[in-house]
A and B are shown apart, each in its own frame.
Chain A
Amino acid sequence: MHLSDDDIVRSISARSPEGIEALYDRYGGLAHTVALRILSDRGAAEDVVQESFLAVWRRGSTFQSGRGSLRSWICTIVRNRAIDRLRGDRHRTRLDTPIEGESLEPAVSDPWAAVALELSGEEVRKALSELPAEQRQTIELAYYGGYSQSEIATAMEVPLGTVKGRVRIALDKLRASLADRVETPWQTQ
């Protein structure tokens, strides 16, 4: 039986092990790929993936379906834990900070999440390849290397403002490029 992402979230919220099993079967490969890309160590990557899914299991229902996709959510959790491991900061866990937003009002449905779900890896690779090298390198240093804005500025020998601009322009270009590649109607707000 095929479970939708919403079905999986409901199952996890109800403390059903089958929910975590379905989540892992759908996104475990992606989670492992992200952790391995960041850590370059198979053992450490496996540990991070296991810790991340166990954290989801133990915390249950912190995912808010109106605020992005389940894939985005689990990627964020795994990425944050892998970066924490990379930096040797094992005491800090950022599971909730970008996810829960409990103080926020209920969000409207995010059309970009629906668009994103239709994209293939090849389409994302192509969109990334169209970015200028310095923009691509900037977001990869941040996302996979765990570098902060000031650390990137130092590493690339550019002003802080340049880093800020490159990241935003890169994401805006990706959004425009990827939105053109899917059929789902897309309107920026």
Chain B
Amino acid sequence: MADAMSHDEVADLLALEAVGALEPSERDGMERHLSTCAACRHTADEYAELASLLPAALELVPPPARLRRNLMAEVYAEATASPTVPWWRRLIDAIPASRTFTVVGAVAVIAAIAFGIWGATSRTNLQPPVTVSYTVSGTTATGTLDVPAGGTPAVLMVNGLQPLPSTKTYEVWLIPPQGSPKGVAFLSPSPAVGGWVAVVPGSLAGYKSLAATVEPAGGSPTPSNTEVLSGQLTAS
């Protein structure tokens, strides 16, 4: 089929396409031209790049810390998923990833799964072997960070922390030798085990210690309170 559109006509459509205003009825003709015209493909890339600069004019609105937590929890869960769906994947999948995640939901989910992890030891496929266990402690709290075999997420289990109002949360941080602490998880209460549980996604390599602080619900970009819990990431 002959290409009936001129470069100039196509450039008009490419500008519309870049800002998302191209009518569907005009797309076929434009794409037919692009398939044979390198110059217009270059123009298409330029206009797309220009349009993508528009947000740079906006005042940046930083996302809440929980967005990063939820995203990375899901990514790490998928990265380490296996066809048999191991216990830790069920744990992560069972924790709602959306922003509507509530403390009530967390209590129910964590309690049920933690009970399964700690109580059903006769089911050999439920609890993976722990290769490293780190001790954490605070003024009133003690616990362990267990790192299972196979690169699966570590699980932090803590006893002795005080209940918090709904506007506060215990946020878990990994602390590098230099630089800022990295928020990685929130501790959730688990009445079934009488303590608190958090799944810590990702590698612990490159971090010297772990800590928990009380932060506003949803988390903070950096710790804003003193530690209620801490531990060195050297095997105990």
Which stretch (B17-25, B109-117, B155-163, B188-196) binds chain A?
B17-25
Q: Complex: how many Å from CA A28 to CA B214?
A: 24
- Minimum CB–CB distance for A72 against chain B, Å: 4
Contact B19 A124 (CB under 8 A): no
Find out whether the CB atom of A142 lies under 8 angstroms from the CB atom of B20: yes
Task: Say whether A17 contacts B42, CB under 8 Å.
Answer: no
B60 in the interface (beta carbon within 8 A): yes
Asked if B103 CB lies within 8 Å of chain A CBs, one says no
**Is B62 a contact of A32 with CB atoms below 8 Å?**
yes
A165 at the interface (CB under 8 A from B): yes
Task: Output the residue of A71, A139, A150 with the most chain B CB within 10 A.
Answer: A139
Number of interface residues of B (CB under 8 A): 55
B68 within 8 A of partner (CB): yes
Contact present for A46 and B47 (CB under 8 Å): no
Residues of A within 8 A of B (CB): 15-18, 20-21, 24-25, 28-34, 36-37, 43, 46-47, 49-50, 53-54, 57-58, 67-69, 71-72, 75-76, 79-80, 83, 98, 101, 103-105, 107-108, 110, 112-113, 116, 119-121, 124-125, 128, 139-140, 142-144, 146-150, 152, 163-165, 167-168, 170-172, 174-175, 178, 189
User: Told that A24-B68, A164-B13 touch, could you supply 15 new A-B pairs with CB distance under 8 A?
Assistant: A18-B202, A29-B63, A30-B55, A33-B58, A33-B60, A46-B63, A54-B71, A79-B20, A79-B55, A83-B20, A101-B41, A121-B59, A128-B54, A150-B23, A171-B18
User: Could you give 7 example pairs across A and B, Cβ below 8 Å?
Assistant: A37-B55, A49-B67, A68-B49, A104-B41, A113-B49, A149-B22, A168-B12
